Structure 1
């Protein structure tokens, strides 16, 4: 399954109302570590997309969502279940660590 671009307009439907857990990747095009994490997140979306939804939020374009999630540094990854953040991680992480976040 492909990655969904999350905006303030589709956040409610794609994240809060999702019947699956959602992995959110907060990023920006100018962020070096974000560029390292992005292909890993894409890979995870392809591998687990049937059981987990993966979304990306550009913090420059969606400052309201970044503020709502209290994103101070990027990349920030968050796992949301039933509209509630259950895990959050800041900084570039290897694939193994991101997958472990999804197991909780």
Structure 2
């Protein structure tokens, strides 16, 4: 299993209404650091299966994705944001270790 790819139209349903913590990876295909994070994020999705949800959103895929990223204060990518109970609780920017992501989510 790997991270779930979503678009802005599924953000509320998948991220904000989740009963589990959600890590959202805001990224873009042209971003080298984002591509470096891809395997780490996918591995994290496997490790957290059942405990948390890990999703990726390509901010350039649609105008709605771009607008959602702006609404969520994403100015630099990769931007990894942890949501709990529909609210942002933490964020990290740039290339991160899996351990840093687990700590950010209070799951490791």
Structures share fold, TM-score greater than 0.5: yes
**What is the CA-CA distance between 1:91 and the residue it aligns to?**
0.7
Gaps of at least 5 residues in structure 2 are: none
**Residue in structure 2 matching 1:72, options 63, 72, 75:** 75
1:4-43 → structure 2 map (5 Å cutoff): 4-43=4-43
Aligned alpha-carbon RMSD (Å): 1.2
2-structure distance, mates of 1:65, 1:55: 14
1-structure distance, mates of 2:73, 2:99: 25
Superposed CA deviations along residues 21-58 of structure 1, whole A, max 9, x for unmatched, are: 10000100010100111100000000112110011010
Gaps of at least 5 residues in structure 1 are: none
Q: Paired residues, what number?
A: 104
2-structure distance, mates of 1:94, 1:63: 25
2-structure distance, mates of 1:29, 1:20: 27
**Residue in structure 1 matching 2:103, options 90, 100, 104:** 100
2-structure distance, mates of 1:6, 1:85: 17
Superposed CA deviations along residues 80-102 of structure 1, whole A, max 9, x for unmatched, are: 01110000111111111111111
